[in-house]
Structure 1
Protein backbone atom coordinates (compact mmCIF):
# COMPACT_ATOMS: atom_id res chain seq x y z
CA UNK A 1 0.00 0.00 0.00
CA UNK A 2 1.43 3.39 -0.98
CA UNK A 3 1.70 6.31 1.45
CA UNK A 4 -0.96 8.12 -0.56
CA UNK A 5 -3.36 5.20 -0.32
CA UNK A 6 -2.68 4.83 3.40
CA UNK A 7 -3.55 8.50 4.00
CA UNK A 8 -6.80 8.34 2.06
CA UNK A 9 -9.48 6.80 4.20
CA UNK A 10 -12.67 5.32 2.77
CA UNK A 11 -14.48 8.48 3.93
CA UNK A 12 -12.42 10.52 1.45
CA UNK A 13 -13.33 8.70 -1.78
CA UNK A 14 -13.32 11.13 -4.73
CA UNK A 15 -13.84 10.09 -8.32
CA UNK A 16 -12.64 11.76 -11.50
CA UNK A 17 -14.89 12.57 -14.42
CA UNK A 18 -12.56 11.54 -17.19
CA UNK A 19 -12.46 11.37 -20.94
CA UNK A 20 -12.10 7.99 -22.61
CA UNK A 21 -10.39 7.71 -26.00
CA UNK A 22 -12.41 7.22 -29.14
CA UNK A 23 -12.13 6.90 -32.89
CA UNK A 24 -11.30 9.89 -35.10
CA UNK A 25 -14.05 11.61 -37.08
CA UNK A 26 -13.27 12.73 -40.62
CA UNK A 27 -14.62 15.70 -42.60
CA UNK A 28 -15.07 18.06 -39.67
CA UNK A 29 -15.89 21.54 -40.96
CA UNK A 30 -14.76 23.33 -37.79
CA UNK A 31 -11.14 23.85 -36.81
CA UNK A 32 -11.94 25.27 -33.37
CA UNK A 33 -14.64 24.49 -30.81
CA UNK A 34 -15.53 26.35 -27.62
CA UNK A 35 -17.26 24.13 -25.06
CA UNK A 36 -19.59 26.09 -22.82
CA UNK A 37 -19.92 24.97 -19.20
CA UNK A 38 -22.32 22.01 -19.12
CA UNK A 39 -25.69 22.83 -17.57
CA UNK A 40 -26.75 20.19 -15.01
CA UNK A 41 -29.85 19.55 -12.90
CA UNK A 42 -29.39 20.42 -9.22
CA UNK A 43 -28.83 16.83 -8.04
CA UNK A 44 -26.15 16.24 -10.69
CA UNK A 45 -24.31 19.49 -9.96
CA UNK A 46 -23.72 18.53 -6.31
CA UNK A 47 -20.40 17.08 -5.24
CA UNK A 48 -22.00 13.81 -4.10
CA UNK A 49 -22.38 10.94 -6.55
CA UNK A 50 -26.04 9.94 -6.72
CA UNK A 51 -27.73 6.69 -7.67
CA UNK A 52 -31.33 5.63 -7.98
CA UNK A 53 -32.73 3.55 -5.15
CA UNK A 54 -35.94 1.60 -4.79
CA UNK A 55 -39.02 3.58 -5.71
CA UNK A 56 -37.07 5.91 -7.99
CA UNK A 57 -35.59 8.14 -5.27
CA UNK A 58 -32.03 9.40 -5.78
CA UNK A 59 -29.56 8.85 -2.95
CA UNK A 60 -26.02 10.10 -2.39
CA UNK A 61 -23.49 7.28 -2.47
CA UNK A 62 -21.90 6.78 0.96
CA UNK A 63 -18.68 8.82 1.25
CA UNK A 64 -18.33 9.17 -2.53
CA UNK A 65 -17.85 12.52 -4.18
CA UNK A 66 -16.72 13.86 -7.52
CA UNK A 67 -13.11 15.05 -7.46
CA UNK A 68 -14.05 18.20 -9.39
CA UNK A 69 -17.12 20.36 -9.84
CA UNK A 70 -19.36 18.10 -11.98
CA UNK A 71 -20.21 20.80 -14.56
CA UNK A 72 -16.54 21.67 -15.03
CA UNK A 73 -15.48 18.01 -15.04
CA UNK A 74 -18.03 17.08 -17.71
CA UNK A 75 -17.12 20.13 -19.80
CA UNK A 76 -13.41 19.27 -19.67
CA UNK A 77 -14.11 15.60 -20.51
CA UNK A 78 -16.23 16.65 -23.53
CA UNK A 79 -13.53 19.08 -24.69
CA UNK A 80 -10.89 16.36 -24.41
CA UNK A 81 -13.11 13.83 -26.21
CA UNK A 82 -13.83 16.28 -29.05
CA UNK A 83 -10.18 17.21 -29.38
CA UNK A 84 -9.13 13.55 -29.56
CA UNK A 85 -11.86 12.68 -32.08
CA UNK A 86 -11.63 15.71 -34.36
CA UNK A 87 -8.12 17.09 -34.14
CA UNK A 88 -9.73 20.54 -33.75
CA UNK A 89 -8.56 23.11 -31.23
CA UNK A 90 -11.03 22.63 -28.37
CA UNK A 91 -11.23 24.54 -25.09
CA UNK A 92 -13.74 25.08 -22.32
CA UNK A 93 -15.08 28.64 -22.03
CA UNK A 94 -13.84 31.30 -21.87
CA UNK A 95 -12.21 30.89 -25.28
CA UNK A 96 -8.47 31.51 -24.74
CA UNK A 97 -7.52 32.76 -28.23
CA UNK A 98 -8.00 36.16 -29.88
CA UNK A 99 -9.69 34.67 -32.95
CA UNK A 100 -13.18 33.39 -32.02
CA UNK A 101 -13.87 29.67 -32.22
CA UNK A 102 -15.60 28.41 -35.37
CA UNK A 103 -18.36 26.87 -33.26
CA UNK A 104 -19.66 26.87 -29.73
CA UNK A 105 -21.04 23.73 -28.04
CA UNK A 106 -23.73 24.15 -25.39
CA UNK A 107 -24.78 20.97 -23.53
CA UNK A 108 -27.82 20.90 -21.25
CA UNK A 109 -28.20 17.69 -19.28
CA UNK A 110 -31.67 16.54 -18.19
CA UNK A 111 -30.64 13.29 -16.44
CA UNK A 112 -27.28 12.01 -15.20
CA UNK A 113 -27.34 9.15 -12.68
CA UNK A 114 -26.85 5.43 -12.14
CA UNK A 115 -30.29 3.84 -12.41
CA UNK A 116 -31.50 0.97 -10.22
CA UNK A 117 -31.66 -1.28 -13.32
CA UNK A 118 -27.85 -1.24 -13.70
CA UNK A 119 -27.65 1.40 -16.44
CA UNK A 120 -26.22 4.91 -16.30
CA UNK A 121 -28.45 7.48 -17.98
CA UNK A 122 -27.10 10.65 -19.56
CA UNK A 123 -29.73 12.58 -21.50
CA UNK A 124 -30.47 16.11 -22.59
CA UNK A 125 -29.68 18.25 -25.61
CA UNK A 126 -26.70 19.88 -27.24
CA UNK A 127 -26.59 22.92 -29.46
CA UNK A 128 -23.97 23.97 -31.98
CA UNK A 129 -23.85 27.69 -32.61
CA UNK A 130 -21.58 29.54 -34.98
CA UNK A 131 -20.97 33.16 -33.98
CA UNK A 132 -19.31 33.91 -37.33
CA UNK A 133 -21.84 31.86 -39.35
CA UNK A 134 -19.20 29.35 -40.49
CA UNK A 135 -21.34 26.24 -40.00
CA UNK A 136 -25.01 25.31 -39.79
CA UNK A 137 -26.44 25.86 -36.31
CA UNK A 138 -28.69 23.24 -34.71
CA UNK A 139 -30.06 21.71 -31.50
CA UNK A 140 -30.15 17.93 -31.05
CA UNK A 141 -31.36 15.64 -28.25
CA UNK A 142 -29.26 12.80 -26.86
CA UNK A 143 -30.20 9.79 -24.77
CA UNK A 144 -27.26 7.66 -23.77
CA UNK A 145 -27.35 4.56 -21.58
CA UNK A 146 -24.21 2.74 -20.48
CA UNK A 147 -23.95 -0.30 -18.20
CA UNK A 148 -22.87 0.10 -14.58
CA UNK A 149 -20.76 -2.96 -13.67
CA UNK A 150 -21.81 -3.05 -10.01
CA UNK A 151 -23.58 -0.78 -7.51
CA UNK A 152 -20.44 1.18 -6.56
CA UNK A 153 -19.49 4.82 -7.01
CA UNK A 154 -16.40 3.76 -8.97
CA UNK A 155 -18.59 1.89 -11.47
CA UNK A 156 -20.92 4.89 -11.77
CA UNK A 157 -17.92 7.13 -12.48
CA UNK A 158 -16.64 4.75 -15.19
CA UNK A 159 -20.14 4.58 -16.72
CA UNK A 160 -20.35 8.40 -16.81
CA UNK A 161 -16.95 8.55 -18.56
CA UNK A 162 -18.20 6.06 -21.15
CA UNK A 163 -21.41 8.07 -21.61
CA UNK A 164 -19.43 11.30 -22.09
CA UNK A 165 -17.23 9.56 -24.67
CA UNK A 166 -20.39 8.55 -26.56
CA UNK A 167 -21.73 12.10 -26.32
CA UNK A 168 -18.50 13.53 -27.74
CA UNK A 169 -18.76 10.99 -30.57
CA UNK A 170 -22.35 12.03 -31.31
CA UNK A 171 -21.42 15.72 -31.26
CA UNK A 172 -18.42 15.18 -33.55
CA UNK A 173 -20.50 13.19 -36.05
CA UNK A 174 -23.19 15.89 -36.05
CA UNK A 175 -20.86 18.74 -36.91
Structure 2
Protein backbone atom coordinates (compact mmCIF):
# COMPACT_ATOMS: atom_id res chain seq x y z
CA UNK A 1 0.00 0.00 0.00
CA UNK A 2 2.76 2.43 0.91
CA UNK A 3 5.01 1.49 -2.03
CA UNK A 4 2.48 2.58 -4.71
CA UNK A 5 1.80 5.78 -2.76
CA UNK A 6 5.53 6.51 -2.46
CA UNK A 7 6.01 5.79 -6.15
CA UNK A 8 3.14 8.15 -7.06
CA UNK A 9 4.56 10.92 -4.85
CA UNK A 10 8.07 10.39 -6.28
CA UNK A 11 6.84 10.51 -9.89
CA UNK A 12 4.75 13.62 -9.20
CA UNK A 13 7.76 15.34 -7.62
CA UNK A 14 9.98 14.31 -10.52
CA UNK A 15 7.46 15.65 -13.05
CA UNK A 16 7.28 18.94 -11.16
CA UNK A 17 11.07 19.27 -11.30
CA UNK A 18 11.38 18.37 -14.97
CA UNK A 19 12.29 20.98 -17.57
CA UNK A 20 10.10 23.50 -19.32
CA UNK A 21 7.06 22.36 -21.21
CA UNK A 22 6.26 25.54 -23.14
CA UNK A 23 6.90 24.85 -26.82
CA UNK A 24 7.02 27.24 -29.78
CA UNK A 25 6.42 26.04 -33.32
CA UNK A 26 7.77 27.66 -36.48
CA UNK A 27 5.03 29.49 -38.34
CA UNK A 28 4.03 27.57 -41.50
CA UNK A 29 4.55 29.68 -44.64
CA UNK A 30 3.94 28.98 -48.32
CA UNK A 31 5.88 30.06 -51.37
CA UNK A 32 4.28 31.53 -54.46
CA UNK A 33 7.03 30.12 -56.71
CA UNK A 34 6.30 27.29 -59.14
CA UNK A 35 9.47 26.22 -60.97
CA UNK A 36 10.51 23.46 -63.33
CA UNK A 37 13.50 21.62 -61.90
CA UNK A 38 16.47 20.58 -64.01
CA UNK A 39 16.76 17.35 -61.98
CA UNK A 40 14.27 14.58 -61.24
CA UNK A 41 15.08 14.14 -57.56
CA UNK A 42 17.08 15.68 -54.73
CA UNK A 43 17.92 14.84 -51.15
CA UNK A 44 18.14 17.53 -48.48
CA UNK A 45 20.86 16.43 -46.08
CA UNK A 46 20.32 17.22 -42.41
CA UNK A 47 20.82 20.96 -41.96
CA UNK A 48 23.91 21.83 -39.92
CA UNK A 49 23.25 24.53 -37.31
CA UNK A 50 25.54 26.29 -34.82
CA UNK A 51 25.27 24.75 -31.35
CA UNK A 52 23.13 27.56 -29.91
CA UNK A 53 20.65 27.26 -32.81
CA UNK A 54 20.62 23.44 -32.67
CA UNK A 55 19.63 23.46 -29.00
CA UNK A 56 16.02 22.97 -27.96
CA UNK A 57 16.05 26.25 -26.04
CA UNK A 58 15.20 29.34 -28.08
CA UNK A 59 18.26 31.59 -28.28
CA UNK A 60 18.20 35.35 -28.66
CA UNK A 61 20.83 38.06 -28.50
CA UNK A 62 20.81 40.05 -25.26
CA UNK A 63 21.25 43.85 -25.13
CA UNK A 64 24.88 43.15 -24.14
CA UNK A 65 25.41 41.12 -27.34
CA UNK A 66 25.44 37.71 -25.64
CA UNK A 67 23.51 34.73 -27.00
CA UNK A 68 21.10 33.78 -24.23
CA UNK A 69 18.00 31.76 -23.41
CA UNK A 70 15.81 31.81 -20.36
CA UNK A 71 15.17 28.06 -20.70
CA UNK A 72 11.43 28.51 -20.14
CA UNK A 73 10.55 27.98 -23.81
CA UNK A 74 11.64 25.25 -26.20
CA UNK A 75 11.24 24.74 -29.92
CA UNK A 76 8.40 22.32 -30.71
CA UNK A 77 10.77 20.14 -32.75
CA UNK A 78 14.50 19.51 -32.83
CA UNK A 79 15.80 22.58 -34.76
CA UNK A 80 18.00 20.65 -37.25
CA UNK A 81 15.16 18.26 -38.03
CA UNK A 82 12.62 21.10 -38.32
CA UNK A 83 14.86 23.12 -40.67
CA UNK A 84 15.55 20.06 -42.83
CA UNK A 85 11.88 19.09 -43.11
CA UNK A 86 10.77 22.68 -43.74
CA UNK A 87 13.28 23.17 -46.57
CA UNK A 88 12.28 19.78 -48.03
CA UNK A 89 8.57 20.69 -47.91
CA UNK A 90 9.18 24.07 -49.56
CA UNK A 91 11.29 22.52 -52.34
CA UNK A 92 8.62 19.87 -52.94
CA UNK A 93 5.98 22.59 -53.21
CA UNK A 94 8.06 24.81 -55.50
CA UNK A 95 9.80 22.34 -57.84
CA UNK A 96 8.65 19.69 -60.30
CA UNK A 97 11.07 17.20 -58.73
CA UNK A 98 10.85 14.58 -56.02
CA UNK A 99 12.54 16.01 -52.93
CA UNK A 100 13.20 13.98 -49.80
CA UNK A 101 15.03 14.48 -46.51
CA UNK A 102 18.03 12.54 -45.29
CA UNK A 103 17.83 9.56 -44.93
CA UNK A 104 16.50 9.16 -48.47
CA UNK A 105 12.97 7.74 -48.15
CA UNK A 106 12.67 6.45 -51.73
CA UNK A 107 14.15 3.56 -53.72
CA UNK A 108 17.24 4.33 -55.76
CA UNK A 109 19.64 7.24 -55.51
CA UNK A 110 18.58 10.90 -55.80
CA UNK A 111 20.01 12.90 -58.69
CA UNK A 112 21.52 15.56 -56.45
CA UNK A 113 22.27 16.21 -52.82
CA UNK A 114 21.64 19.55 -51.12
CA UNK A 115 23.61 20.38 -48.01
CA UNK A 116 22.98 23.48 -45.92
CA UNK A 117 25.50 24.69 -43.34
CA UNK A 118 24.30 27.56 -41.22
CA UNK A 119 26.82 29.88 -39.56
CA UNK A 120 24.31 32.21 -37.89
CA UNK A 121 20.61 31.84 -37.09
CA UNK A 122 19.70 34.36 -34.44
CA UNK A 123 17.19 36.98 -33.34
CA UNK A 124 19.39 40.02 -32.78
CA UNK A 125 18.98 42.65 -30.09
CA UNK A 126 18.46 45.13 -32.94
CA UNK A 127 15.10 43.53 -33.82
CA UNK A 128 16.50 41.75 -36.89
CA UNK A 129 16.56 37.97 -37.43
CA UNK A 130 19.59 36.75 -39.39
CA UNK A 131 20.18 33.49 -41.26
CA UNK A 132 23.65 33.21 -42.80
CA UNK A 133 25.77 30.38 -44.17
CA UNK A 134 26.37 28.30 -47.30
CA UNK A 135 24.54 25.68 -49.28
CA UNK A 136 25.99 23.08 -51.60
CA UNK A 137 24.40 21.19 -54.50
CA UNK A 138 26.20 18.24 -56.05
CA UNK A 139 25.52 15.21 -58.17
CA UNK A 140 24.65 12.08 -56.26
CA UNK A 141 23.01 9.88 -58.88
CA UNK A 142 23.86 11.89 -62.01
CA UNK A 143 26.74 13.93 -63.36
CA UNK A 144 25.80 17.39 -62.09
CA UNK A 145 28.02 20.45 -61.72
CA UNK A 146 28.89 21.06 -58.08
CA UNK A 147 27.73 24.42 -56.73
CA UNK A 148 28.55 26.25 -53.53
CA UNK A 149 26.68 29.43 -52.66
CA UNK A 150 26.78 31.73 -49.69
CA UNK A 151 23.55 33.16 -48.32
CA UNK A 152 22.57 35.87 -45.88
CA UNK A 153 18.94 36.73 -45.14
CA UNK A 154 17.56 39.19 -42.65
CA UNK A 155 14.03 40.07 -41.67
CA UNK A 156 12.61 42.28 -38.94
CA UNK A 157 11.12 40.62 -35.89
CA UNK A 158 7.39 41.21 -36.22
CA UNK A 159 4.97 40.44 -33.45
CA UNK A 160 5.55 39.95 -29.79
CA UNK A 161 8.12 37.81 -28.05
CA UNK A 162 8.99 34.33 -29.20
CA UNK A 163 6.15 34.17 -31.73
CA UNK A 164 7.90 37.01 -33.56
CA UNK A 165 11.14 34.99 -33.49
CA UNK A 166 9.32 31.93 -34.87
CA UNK A 167 7.71 33.98 -37.66
CA UNK A 168 11.03 35.57 -38.62
CA UNK A 169 12.84 32.21 -38.62
CA UNK A 170 10.14 30.74 -40.87
CA UNK A 171 10.50 33.68 -43.27
CA UNK A 172 14.27 33.40 -43.71
CA UNK A 173 14.09 29.59 -44.11
CA UNK A 174 11.47 30.11 -46.85
CA UNK A 175 13.78 32.62 -48.59
CA UNK A 176 16.64 30.10 -48.42
CA UNK A 177 14.46 27.33 -49.88
CA UNK A 178 13.32 29.63 -52.69
CA UNK A 179 16.93 30.44 -53.60
CA UNK A 180 17.87 26.75 -53.61
CA UNK A 181 14.83 26.07 -55.82
CA UNK A 182 15.94 28.79 -58.25
CA UNK A 183 19.43 27.22 -58.40
CA UNK A 184 17.86 23.83 -59.22
CA UNK A 185 15.66 25.29 -61.95
CA UNK A 186 18.29 26.99 -64.09
Fold-level similarity (TM above 0.5): yes
Distance 2:181 2:170 in 1: 16
**Partner residue in 2 for 1:99:** 108
**Partner residue in 1 for 2:48:** 39
Show CA shifts across 1:128-164 (max 9, x none).
0112334321110000001111451111011101111
Shift of 1:56: 1.0
Distance 2:71 2:161 in 1: 9
Alignment length (residue pairs): 165
Flag as ranges the 4+ runs of structure 1 deviating above 4 A: none
Distance 1:126 1:14 in 2: 29
**Partner residue in 1 for 2:88:** 79
Asked whether 1:164 is paired with 2:173, we answer: yes
Secondary structure in 1 matching 2:46:
coil
Give the structure-2-normalised TM-score. Answer: 0.83
Cα 1:66–1:29 change in 2 (3 A) is same
RMSD, matched Cα? 1.5
Distance 1:36 1:18 in 2: 22
Shift of 1:18: 5.0
Give the structure-1-normalised TM-score. Answer: 0.88
Q: Flag structure 2 segments of 5+ consecutive residues without an equivalent.
A: 1-19
Range with greater deviation from structure 2 (116-125 or 14-23): 14-23
Cα 1:101–1:168 change in 2 (3 A) is same
Structure ID, larger Rg = 2
When you count strand as a share of all residues, which structure comes out higher? 1
Q: Flag structure 1 segments of 5+ consecutive residues without an equivalent.
A: 1-10
